Amino acid sequence: MRIAHVRKSMNAFGIAALLVWYAGPVAGQTTAPTGGRATVQPAATSGAPDAAGAGGDLQSAAPMQPLERIVSLHLRNVPLNDALREINKQARLGLTYTPRVVPVNKRVTIEQDSITAGEALDSVLRGTGTKAIVTKAGTVALVRGERRSERVDSAAGVVMGRVADAADDRPLAGAIVTVEGTELRAVTTDSGWYGIPKVPAGMRTLVVRFLGYQSAKQPVLVVDNQATRTDFALRMAMSRLQETVTTATGPQRRVELGNDITVIDADSIVATQPVTSVTSLLEGRVPGLSVLHSSGAPGDPSRLRLRGLGSILRSNDPIIVVDGIRIYSEQSSDRSNNLAQTGFTTPSPIDQIDPSSIETIEVLKGPSAATLYGQDAANGVIVITTRKGREGPPRWTMSATRGVTTMPGRYPVGYFGWGHKLADNSPILCAVRDPTCAQDSLSRFQLLNDPDLTVLGHGERTALTAGVSGGSATLTYSVTGNFSDEMGLIRLPDVEAARYMHLRGTAPPGWMRHPQRYTTWGAATRLGAQLGSKADVSLTAMFQRGSQRRSSLEHQLDGLMGTYFNRATGQYYVANPGSFYGYDINDQLLSDYFRRVEDVATTFTNGVNATWRPRSWLTASADAGLQLLNRDDESLLPPGMPTSFVGDTVGSIGIGYGQSLMRTINVRTTASAPLPHGFHFRVALGANYTNTSTRDLSITGRGLSPGTSAISGARDIDRPAQGAFDITSFGWYVEPSISHDRFWLSTGLRIDGGSTFGTQVKLPSFPKLSASYLISDEPFFPFKRIFNTLRLRVAYGQAGTWPGPADRLRLFQQQSRYIGSTSVNTLELQSVGNTHLKPERSKELEGGFDADILGDRLSVSLTGYRKTRYDALMSLPVPASVYGGGSILKNVGVIRNTGLELSLDVQPVRTDAVTMSTRLHLSRNRNRVLSLAKDIGRFCTSGSSSGCVAAGYPLLGVWARPIVGYADANGNGVITADEVLVADSLAFMGEQLPSYETSLHTSLSFFRSAVTVSGSFAYQDGLTQTSYAAGNNVIFSQGLNDPGAPLGAQAAAVATPLTSYGAIQTVSTLRFTSLAIAYNVAPSMARRLGARSLSIALQGTNLGLWTDYRGKDPNVSATATGNGVVDRNALPTPRTWQIRVSASY
Amino acid sequence: MRAVAQVWLRAFAGAALLGLGVMACSPERVVGNAKLPPDIPDPTAVQTPAGAVSAYHGALAHFHSAFGGEGSDFVSASGILADELQVEQIGVPIGVFGTNMRLDSRTMPEVLNPGFNERGDAYGSVYAALQKVRGQVAMARGLLTHYAPDSLQALSGHLYVLEGYAEIFLADLYCSGIPLSTVDFDGDYTLRAGSSTSDVYRLAVTLFDSAITLAADSARIVNVARVGKARALLALAEYDQAAQAVAEVPDDFRYAVSYVNRPGSRSFAYFGPGVARPYPVADREGENGLDYISSHDPRTAATPIAATTYDGRPIYFPNKYATTGDSPIVLASGIEARLIEAEVALQSGDAGWLTTLNALRTDGTYDTQPDAQDSTSVDTLWHAGSGGTAGLAPLADPGTPAARLDLLFRERAFWLFLTGHRQGDMRRLIRNYGIEPGRVYPTGPYPGGAGHYGTDVTAPIVGESSNPYFHGCSSRSA
């Protein structure tokens, strides 16, 4: 209606064209590309063209594609006619013009590489009064510009111009330009152009606002019957609401979504920060994400937890999507361990992706955002988009990194009370309360801090990356390659190497001296093809190979931490964890470092995405992909090793082969249509199919022939173990949404089927609803001076977590057992089964706001959420009176996570000389088990998900019998066991995930980014840790050995046999996580070196730790499988210093 | 307006068309019938005669393991709590509350601490093992009833025997208030509240009665059921019925549970590579333990092994069982039947009690293994009427009722040494004969200077926290 009205009042051809632009975005015109530059003047400033056939076609002037083709010109003082021919030749413009309009003999000079045809024409035609226009046929015509003014409404002038990104001159489509004090406004086209007709003459002020950018104002003198050009270069604001994010139904602007989605610009972070893996890329950059490290060994996995724990039994791992394709993402299953039955962990699947191949990572934190991703998306979704090629000549990037790793800080000391027996004066370890001896001296020791005896040395890391990208208008490409090699810091002490040499007559092999090594290499390719104007296809192919090596030396850390070395006798006193007050005396430092463990993982990921836009209102797309992950694991104990256990000297080998195959097919279609009164309707329909299949096989053998390292060389073959896992799901969804200028409302429903549901279960459905309101764009919004942008949002959604493939079944197992001397087959109950099993259902409500404040120097994003997991699957302990115990899986629990997430981006200093920016993330999560099934009280689990579950308390909390009192009744300064009172019942000690997490990233940029300094800190509080060292090494504790130990420490030590209370601690930690100092070589100097850009950086990680934890490092404690957190003295995270050189060509 | 409507209609029509296409692929249709992963056995395959027999074998295997098998077994756990076995560690000082030390020192809290210091004393795992026998028996009996021919129904009698003994063991070792939940062979399970000690013995009596009925064709099964029934009746202090139950059990009857030197099939006596904590024979444990070693009685002879305790004390292993773990352990025998008769006679004032005891000592021979390190299987058979056991002279009447009782129970302890009887006997002394617990169980300082013996005479029940009908032990006393 608005179009018709305006047309009536406009008879000037150019003005009509302007209005077509104005109407363009409303009608969903999307044919003009958004990338590149477009400097051709709008038709509104052109008069009627002289070129034949151009006249009535100007309503189609919006497609600017020909003028955005890239040309390179080196013409000096040539006739304009020659220049135009050259431009026409390179850009294939179908250029038409007449010498009557164009001064063809005018001499022009142009020397430019890689500019658009529009810019080239703009340059050579400057001062001729001639402009270029695009005809309906897609050709370009040159017309005289002056005529336009004759046809402009004489009552007012026209204001027009271009709005672009200040950083890269990228045109900004959809920006709103208003004439201050009037109702006049325009929206920029895909090429960034705007035009406002009928602007009253005189001094006016133009205001441009664009979501995600700082608004800008400019005065303009509007002249009657003339067009005045005013261009804007907008600086990006920090909230970035205009960003396009990938959703299950396709790309959408962030502002349209009611969820908080964290977008990580991986490309720029990897270029400037010390990033070694996808996990390190995510850590500290996503509010609400907890990263739990299993160890500091190179390549070792970490667990990712978004917005707390929701499931006790099923995976709490988020799912991972790469370019629309699901990939295997289990970080906490049994397969996280080495398949060769060794007890070692293996690298996480998410870290099989090369960080340098990633463009962006989007983190959907819960069901409200992840509903349409399917029944197992309740733990969140990590959406990875790999690097895309850009139109243009090949652009090469390379980087080389070399670094060293060390163990920061010192291990806590132990105490050794040296004394003599009262009976015969023989020397003995004498605890203060031992009545049979008298203490003579007290030694403080820590073998791991002793440079002669420690197994902690230094490691090294080398990494190389290279990439090339580019392409044409129809085909783009990006290829990246990577290689990294890291040697861990565990080493064999010289004293043990000498002993090995003495016993074996040869030096220990290299892998024994430096067992930890992690090598990765791979390549990733993404091709994009434009198939005509209505379709495009992209192909992703990734290959990655990782090889991790470990040895049993690493397992010695625990024992070494509790080992006292008597230099006088050469004897080692080793705490015996099996008996709290026991110890062994050895004449050797290490009992075992002879087993070598390797994991080789090879990943192929292939995907294809096709998008077809048959109509402007209809888009259909499909993804198909396949990911194959092959594991080849081995554990080898060579024969003849000087182990303390005779049975091991024959050698043994374990091999494990595993394969996971993930198949994905997604189809979706999106249709949109305008509604009356400015509303807009959009509906998305889609379906997806995923199938996960894993196959594992492992065999162990003992008794190896010397020199043999194959299972075929083993004398005794143990029973092989086979594992298989198949899960298929299929679901479809519908997502209708409606929007109105500044308001977006979206609903959705997903219905799923799964192969793991009980036979009695109906198909589950998952609804969603979200709303987003850009209230700061409302005319009535009263705080425009404070808020540049204020967006309110709320979202609700559900998602599920599926049961395991055989969880629903009552299973029996056949065993071969001896009854007397006869072997018989027995049939025994393996699991009770449950035919009513259904997926866990998570419901999440989140709400919050995003705001740019104080002239865009401060950006705030606050999100509150309440995520409730219903029907939580719990492996309930079956009472032992039923078949001896065991467990049964039931949908019984209700678990809630509530929390707040705050992101602050501040730019306190923003000058040409210095720019300072700081990003602060705060998150707080509160986890509670709201209820369990009727008649189920508190129960505790063991193994990899150890902890207790009780209504009203956090899931898998830490419980213990507390020390309720102690008193030195006899006043001798020594607390004995009968002076400590330990409660009879368990009490809650704390939860296994931190309650508060904060990260701070600060960056200082000097001299227009010539030098940048950035650092980051992380703070955690509320993690409750159980230190195995405190329990296992209690014999060497201060409480038992130091007469001056505080009574509390004494009480904890003597009560250790009764309770783990003394080993439990709720800790807070502040970590200086990274520092990067980069020098960007001046472009002129870089060019002299043959590069487009060149930078050198010094980067460090894990540079400081301040904590009240009595152990070594409370943040390296995750068990490889399950959800348990316990400090078993795994290797802490090392400190890294590295130098990185990057260049682009 | 018309243009808007047109676009809208097109959008709707297109979306509806695609929507119908998507919905045609229902999730159920696509996912289809779930195919089990290849490593998961088909649950329906057990519903056959062969499946029923395999389940019966499973019950036998579980009973073997729970009774005296390597790992967690009733014989060693009850022997540790009683005065038969001790907890020692080779080469390191004895500590407090290490593995099975709570059991040995009679200090077993009802609430255990989850986490690293939950060392899993044997009473927890033995309880589970005995309950597993009950569950497996129920499953096997159900499968036999529904899927096996009549010719196999006698196996059910044997299953009743296993269940009866499992319940005796539960009642002997654990506190009053034992839940006897039930498992359906093809359905669900039913949780039960705790049963008193006497109720459990009473239930065992009925199970043995069922066994005697169902396995009437098998003298061996009938006799083991008779001895079991009499054992339960003794515990209930129903002496006459006990004597009546074993009256027809022959002197040389023996039902032994066999073990074989293979992983998972050895007896508790196995001591080989990887076994760090053998349980040596105790001698005068605490202030009240019997002199199993120093008496030099051939029935309880023990030989020191090469290793010693931390402070140099020898560690004795019973000659009765080979350290290879393949010696059989007698579950029920004619000896036990005669001992029951002697006790009943003593109760009734019949002087025949001493005659019966002396007949056992002098009329038959009792073979024991002279060298515990010998790997050959040990024969624990009592050979009735074969001329007496060397070193066992006839007993004289001590004259007083208390001394007679002590003598009778001492004879029981020595004849039935390390067969899982002593704990039940010690409780009976307290419960049925009114002896002070401190006179029966080890007391005083615990070895190694690490505290004192506690006062427990029963083990608490663990692993029932998820049973809403279970509210802890109703009594920890005998």
Helical spans, DSSP H, in A982-1076? 1028-1032, 1038-1041, 1047-1054
Q: Does B37 touch chain A if contact means CB atoms closer than 8 Å?
A: yes
The dihedral region occupied by A308, where left means phi > 0, alpha psi between -120 and 50, and beta the remainder, is left
Q: How far is A827 from chain B (nearest CA, A)?
A: 5
Q: Return phi, psi of residue A295, to 5°.
A: -170, 175
Instruction: Work out the pLDDT band at B216, boundaries 50, 70, 90.
Output: confident
Residue B411: which region, alpha, beta or left (left: phi > 0; alpha: psi -120 to 50)?
Answer: alpha
Look at A881 and B180 and tell me if their CB atoms are within 8 Å: yes
Q: What is the secondary structure of A687-733 as a DSSP string?
A: EEEEEEEEEEEEEEEEEEPTT--SGGGEEEEPPPEEEEEEEEEEEEE
- Residue numbers in B near A817 (CB within 8 A): 57-58, 61, 264-265
- Which of B346, B351, B456, B455 lies closest to B410 in space, CA to CA? B346
Integer Cα distance of B227 and A284 in angstroms:
70
Residue B271's pLDDT is 80
Tell me what percent of the residues of chain B surpass a pLDDT of 70.
81
As a whole number of angstroms, the distance between CA A602 and CA A548 comes to 12
Closest residue of chain B to A943, computed from CA coordinates:
B115
Q: Is residue B193 scored above 90 in pLDDT?
A: yes
Question: What local confidence, expressed as pLDDT, does residue A149 receive?
Answer: 39
Chain A residues with beta carbon closer than 8 angstroms to that of B464: 879-881
Greatest extent of chain B over all pairs of C-alpha atoms, in Å: 121
Is pLDDT of B132 > 70?
yes
Give the C-alpha separation, B356 to A59, whole Å: 122
**Complete domains list, chain B, with CATH:** 2-265+325-440 (1.25.40.390)
Contacts of residue A581 in chain B, CB cutoff 8 Å? 93, 95-96, 450
Residue among B178, B181, B185 nearest B47 (CA): B185
pLDDT score of B403: 96
Of A1062-1066, B233-237, B402-406, the least confident:
A1062-1066
**What digits encode the pLDDT tens for the residues B326-348?**
888 999 999 999 999 999 999 99
Interchain CB contact of A507 with B (< 8 Å): no
Rounded Cα–Cα distance for residues B13 and A737 (Å): 16
Whether the CB of B23 is below 8 Å from some CB of chain A: the reply is yes
Best mutation site among B9, B10, B40 for testing chain A: the one with the most A CBs within 10 Å?
B40
CA distance, residue B127 to nearest chain A CA (Å): 7
User: In this complex, how many residue pairs, one in chain A and one in chain B, have their CB atoms less than 8 Å apart?
Assistant: 304
Nearest by CB to residue A725, choosing from B35, B37, B97, is B37
Q: Are A661 and A693 a contacting pair, CB within 8 Å?
A: yes
Residues across chain B: 478
List, for chain A, all residue ranges whose pLDDT scores fall below the cut of 70.
Answer: 1-65, 135-137, 145-155, 211-212, 237-240, 242, 578-580, 644-648, 754-762, 805, 835, 935, 942-945, 1120
In chain A, which residues have their Cβ closer than 8 Å to the Cβ of B61?
Answer: 815, 817-819, 824, 826
The CA distance from B257 to the nearest CA of chain A, in Å, is 7
- The reply to whether A1139 touches chain B by the CB within 8 Å rule is no
Quick check: helix, strand or coil at residue B104? Answer: helix
> Is A618 in contact with B91 (Cβ distance < 8 A)?
no
Structure tokens at A378: 């309740």
- Residue A816 touches partner B, C-beta closer than 8 Å: no
What does A630-686 look like in DSSP terms, one character per residue?
Answer: EEEEEEEE-TT---SSGGGTT-EEEEEEEEEEEEEEEEEEEEEEE-GGG-EEEEEEE
Instruction: From chain B, pick out residues whose CB is under 8 angstroms from the CB of A725.
Output: 37
Residues of B in contact with A824 (CB under 8 A): 54, 57, 60-61
**Residues of chain B positioned with their CB less than 8 A from the CB of A722:** 38-39
Contacts of A879 in chain B (CB under 8 A): 179, 181, 191, 463-467, 470
Which pTM value belongs to this model? Answer: 0.71
Q: Which of B44, B466, B467, B473 to mutate to test the interface with A (most CBs of A within 10 A)?
A: B466
Q: Could A877 and B463 be called an inter-chain contact, meaning their C-beta atoms sit closer than 8 Å?
A: yes
Nearest chain A residue (CA) to B109 = A984
CB-nearest partner of A881 from B1, B27, B464: B464
Tell me whether A765 touches chain B (CB under 8 Å).
Answer: no
User: Which B residues, 421 through 460, put their C-beta within 8 Å of a C-beta on chain A?
Assistant: 449-451
Answer whether B258 touches A (CB < 8 Å): yes
Chain B window 367-396: which residues touch A at a Cβ cutoff of 8 Å? none
CB-CB neighbors (< 8 A) of A753 in chain B: 26-28, 30-31
Are the C-beta atoms of A999 and A903 separated by less than 8 Å?
no
Chain A residues touching B108 at Cβ < 8 A: none
Flag whether residue A583 sits within 8 Å of chain B, measured between CB atoms: yes
Residue A314: per-residue pLDDT = 79
Contact A879 B41 (CB under 8 A): no
A1090–chain B Cβ distance below 8 A for any pair? no
Residues 186-205 of B with CB under 8 A from A: 188-189, 191-192
The answer, for A826 touching chain B at a CB cutoff of 8 Å, is yes
Q: Which chain A residues are Cβ-neighbours of B260 within 8 angstroms?
A: 818, 820-821
User: Does A892 contact B at CB distance below 8 Å?
Assistant: no
Whether A317 has its CB under 8 Å from any CB of chain B: the answer is: no
Cα–Cα distance for residue pair A807/A834, rounded to 1 Å: 7
- Chain B residue numbers with beta carbons less than 8 Å from the beta carbon of A937 are 465-466, 468
Tokens 């030098």 found at: A1011
Q: Measured between alpha carbons, how far is A743 from A12 in angstroms, rounded to an integer?
A: 35
How far apart CA A243 and CA A791 sit, in angstroms, is 14
Query: Burial code of A520-529, b = ≥16 C-beta within 10 A, e = fewer?
Result: bbbbbbbbbe
Of A881, A1060, A1063, Cβ closest to residue B467 = A881
CA distance A948 to chain B (A): 8
**Residue A678, exposed/middle/buried by CB under 10 A (0-12, 13-18, 19+)?**
exposed
Does the CB of B47 have a partner CB in chain A at under 8 Å?
no
Q: Does the beta carbon of B120 lie under 8 angstroms from any beta carbon of chain A? A: no
Query: Amino acid identity, residue A913?
Result: A
Chain centroid to Cα B435, Å, comes to 25
The nearest CA of chain B is from the CA of A687 a distance in Å of 7
Phi, psi of A611, rounded to the nearest 5 degrees: -130, 135
Confidence of residue B41 (pLDDT cuts 50, 70, 90): low
Q: Which of residues 267-326 of B touch A (CB under 8 A)?
A: 273-274, 276
**Residue-level pLDDT at A114:** 76
Q: Which of residues 645-704 of A touch B (CB under 8 A)?
A: 645-647, 667, 669, 671-676, 681, 683, 685-687, 689
CB contact under 8 A, B91 and A948: no
CB within 8 Å: B131 and A881: yes
Measured distance CA(A969)–CA(A674) in Å, rounded: 84
**What is the sign, positive or negative, of the torsion defined by CA atoms of B292, B296, B298, B303?**
positive
ipTM reported for the complex, 2 dp: 0.88
